[in-house]
Copies of this chain bind each other. A is one copy, B any other.
């Protein structure tokens, strides 16, 4: 394949984002299937790492995985629309089943009596089964999760961030009381925070969405929001308090301890492959992808260096021995023994693919019983490491990088977060088309003002931060209208 030249962030951030994905071979637009993408092996391997981290935490908190049909009867959306406050409109619709060949041309065979939509999310179909499975408070809580892809017909797509089909997990739970449901909503929000901060090395703000940004049918939508390098915000995951809305729509009732029938209290929560978009936009640089070691499909790339044939054998032997040692520590190690390719070209490729640590081994290293190691980011210095302590030192370097990436992202966020109290300052912060910041400002609590601010600046309310998110909760005056405000909220342009 042709080599991809990566645009600089300063020159063209949107192009840089695309180039990083192409250069690391993470994904590509499907083209022939409108709005869809192909996730290539290196991209999917990152998703598998994220899946494993989330899945372990879901199971530790008592959830079980299951699988529900990918098609949903159209009438289910009708039910949802009547009881909840809306539903996903941009669905792919299956109207026919079966094909036939007529004069060598393929035609559709039978029209279905009732169309199906390809699931945009599964609250409705899962609600239908909850109604069959739940009868008594003894059946509660019911704690399920599903890994799958879903489809929403998107006009403007962007790899990982917004595509018609995307991959995700969707948790769906039912509880005997609103209190229990709310506890669940916050428990899963904390799981997302934990994975974002401690695995993806991305600091997040936990908060509540405004009514305008809330999931249709939810009482409240909780979220984690992360700051990208262009100052825009990315919604990292959501956790919904569905109240009894879906219970009412799908008649999910239970007999409580007092013998009275009531609708269950439900939650749903999800995290998608856009997480990979966040990884790219938070950590990567003009040389390509940067990955925290905990989600890197390959931890260490070993590049053997030799000139003569008599050096080659010895160097390769040592390279493979080192690889074996490191693999015993649970690391994924690639020995890049490709022929006819210069070490520099190999360095360049592993750099673009975001491999956290490169190890170089040549004849002089072997003589000195050392290797040369270089981290992908956060530290430019090459290090000479004694072979005897290689495992320990590599472990330390990877731990260092994991922490350094988080610290760097947090420092960037701190530097790009401001409190704004006047409308002229507010407009000023967001005036550059291509940039944004995290802005904490007062808001009068109305959708009208929220939309007026968006209209004027393109900034939206990303969330109302929870009380424990480091922001002093104090009343003030709305930055736009001057009307009373209960607390500052988080504004930013967003993905």
Q: Which residues of B contact A98 (CB under 8 A)?
A: 89-91, 93, 153
Q: Is A149 positioned at the interface, with any CB of B under 8 Å from its CB?
A: yes
Q: What CA separation (Å) do A89 and B151 show in the bound complex?
A: 23
A57 to chain B, nearest CB (A): 16
CB contact between A67 and one of B39, B74, B101, B109 (< 8 Å): that residue = B39
CB contact between A45 and one of B47, B65, B71, B165 (< 8 Å): that residue = B65
CB contact between A38 and one of B116, B118, B129, B148 (< 8 Å): that residue = B129
Chain A 120-137 interface residues, beta-carbon cutoff 8 Å to B: 125, 128-129, 133, 135
Q: Is A22 positioned at the interface, with any CB of B under 8 Å from its CB?
A: no
A44 to chain B, nearest CB (A): 5
Q: What CA separation (Å) do A125 and B44 show in the bound complex?
A: 17
Interface readout for A156-199 with B: 1 if CB under 8 Å, 0 if not? 00000000010100000000000000000000000000000000
Interface readout for A140-159 with B: 1 if CB under 8 Å, 0 if not? 00001000110101000000
Task: Judge whether B149 and A67 touch: CB under 8 Å.
Answer: yes
Q: What CA separation (Å) do A104 and B128 show in the bound complex?
A: 21
Stretch from A29-37, A208-216, A456-464 that touches the partner: A29-37
Q: Which residues of B contact A368 (CB under 8 A)?
A: none
Task: Judge whether A44 and B64 touch: CB under 8 Å.
Answer: yes
A33 to chain B, nearest CB (A): 4
Report if A66-B38 is in contact (Cβ < 8 Å); known contacts: A106-B77, A118-B118: yes
CB contact between A41 and one of B32, B65, B78 (< 8 Å): that residue = B65
Interface readout for A92-126 with B: 1 if CB under 8 Å, 0 if not? 11111111110011101100000111100000010
Which among A97, A129, A148 has the greatest number of chain B C-beta atoms within 10 A? A97
CB contact between A1 and one of B108, B133, B149 (< 8 Å): that residue = B133
CB contact between A90 and one of B36, B94, B97 (< 8 Å): that residue = B97
Task: Judge whether A93 and B73 touch: CB under 8 Å.
Answer: no
Q: Is A399 positioned at the interface, with any CB of B under 8 Å from its CB?
A: no
Task: Judge whether B89 and A77 touch: CB under 8 Å.
Answer: no
A401 to chain B, nearest CB (A): 24
A residues within 8 Å of B by Cβ? 1, 30, 32-33, 36-41, 43-45, 47-48, 64-74, 76-78, 81-82, 89-101, 104-106, 108-109, 115-118, 125, 128-129, 133, 135, 144, 148-149, 151, 153, 165, 167
Using A44-B64, A108-B115 as known contacts, list a sample of 5 further A-B pairs with CB atoms less than 8 Å apart, ordered by residue number in A. Answer: A38-B67, A43-B66, A93-B108, A95-B108, A118-B118
Q: List 20 A-B contacts (CB under 8 A).
A: A30-B68, A30-B69, A32-B125, A32-B128, A33-B69, A36-B71, A39-B66, A40-B66, A41-B66, A41-B144, A44-B65, A71-B165, A81-B101, A89-B109, A90-B98, A91-B99, A92-B97, A93-B94, A96-B115, A148-B149
